[in-house]
Amino acid sequence: MTSQNKFLVSIRGKGARPPLYLVHSLAGELTWLPPLSQLMDDDQPIYGFAAAGLNAKGTAFDSVEEMAQAYLDATRRVHPAEPYILGGYSFGGVVAFEMARQVQLLGGTVEKLVLIDTYSPKSAIIKELSAWNHNGTMLQSVGNMLALEWKARALMAPGDLPAGDAAGQVDLTVRHLLTQCDIPHSYEALSDLLAKCRDVMAAHNKALSNYQPAPLPKPVETVLIQNSEGFVGRKNILNLPGLSNGVEGNDHGWDGILQGTTKTLTVETEHFLMMKSPALERVAEILNAEL
């Protein structure tokens, strides 16, 4: 990452193509963006957004609308020219949708909307995320992702974290990582990181639950990249409880909200592994062809 203007982060600032702006996931992390950029064509500029409360100063936003406006303001200060290509992974796609709506309401133009395994806020999956945030499954997903990266001897199982106890969830996740991984991190450092991550996820989940998307004022060409195995596949490596896409599998619940042509493309993976190899290579292939 080469530069940051409050929220806007330049991953690759130069290139002949129109820039691609991608919003972070519910956890606020952007670790998937540099690897994605390395797989993209050399002439594709790519920018991301640092989440307040995690990678940017300040507290997490209270609403999707507020976040979208802040990210648009940061974008316009650096690149005032339109049209924009807006997108995001998971929760980030919802924010990108709202950014597109706000651009259009001000008379601007959005060239393309990119939704990378983004479920509509009206989807039943979103309701499940609220339960996951309460019972610790969301933090378990983050902890087990770190555990895999750090070659843990064992992963946390569903129900290992105490429901409704934010501090207890963080404490047990940190102790699990320190016990099961050989890492040079202190309890305090890991606790601070995971506490921030959990607070950001809780704030983003609340904002997502309260967001009521209205159809875009004008048609926008949309690329919807979706998983093939469900939100959580039956053999998921993160040890999470299985969760299928249900009846929303064909469009992730966006029917009637998106305006214009929607091109839906499928990647052979589950939601949480969409931005991990080998699925990441397929996502990059799609974006190189569609942008």
Burial of 164 (0-12, 13-18, 19+ CB in 10 A): exposed
Q: Could you tell me if 16 and 157 lie in one domain?
A: no
Within a domain: 80: yes
pLDDT in tens, 168-221: 999 999 999 999 999 999 999 999 999 999 999 999 999 999 999 988 999 999
- 56 located within any domain: yes
Residue 238 inside a domain? The answer is: no
In degrees and rounded to multiples of 5, residue 47 shows phi and psi of -130, 150
Residue 197 placed within a domain: yes
Say whether both 114 and 60 belong to one domain.
yes
Q: The tokens 């996820």 sit on which residue? A: 201
Range of the structural domain that residue 168 is part of: 127-207
Percent of the chain with pLDDT over 70: 97
Q: Are residues 23 and 105 in the same domain?
A: yes
* Separate counts of helices (H) and strands (E) for the chain: 8, 8
Residue 269 lies in a domain: yes
| Same structural domain, 96 and 12 | yes
Q: Which residue from 144, 129, 130, 194 is spatially nearest to 167, judged by alpha carbons?
A: 194
Do both 24 and 148 map to the same domain?
A: no
Identify whether residues 29 and 101 lie together within a single domain: yes
277: in domain: yes
In this structure, are residues 28 and 76 in contact, taking their beta carbons and an 8 Å threshold? Answer: no
Q: Which of 104, 105, 107, 159 lies closest to 136 in space, CA to CA?
A: 159
Same-domain pairing of 74 and 176: no
Query: 37 and 179 in contact (C-beta within 8 Å)?
Result: no
pLDDT for residue 288 is more than 90: yes
Would the pLDDT of 54 be above 80?
yes
Domain assignment of residue 282, yes or no: yes
pTM: 0.93
**Residue scoring higher pLDDT (243 or 217):** 217
Residues 31, 100, single domain; the answer is yes
Q: Using the structure block, give the residue that is written with the tokens 């008379």.
A: 107
| 237 domain-assigned | no
For 61-112, how does the pLDDT look when each residue is reduced to its tens digit (9 = 90+)?
999 999 999 999 999 998 898 899 999 999 999 999 999 999 999 999 999 9
Indicate the pLDDT class of residue 53, thresholds 50, 70 and 90.
very high
Selection from 117, 118, 168, 116 nearest residue 139 by Cα: 168
Handedness of CA 266, 269, 275, 276 (dihedral sign): negative
Domain final residue, candidates 191, 207, 223? 207
**278 and 143 share a domain?**
no
Does position 255 have pLDDT exceeding 60, yes or no?
A: yes
First-last CA distance in the chain: 22
Q: How far is CA 149 from CA 79, 108, 254, 274, 284, in A?
A: 36, 42, 33, 16, 22
Domain count within the chain: 2
83 and 186 co-located in one domain: no
110 and 132 part of one domain: no
Predicted pLDDT at 2: 37
Q: Which two tokens stand for residue 100?
A: 């597109």
Statement to judge: residues 219 and 95 lie in one domain = yes
User: Any idea what the CATH number is for the domain that residue 85 is in?
Assistant: 3.40.50.1820
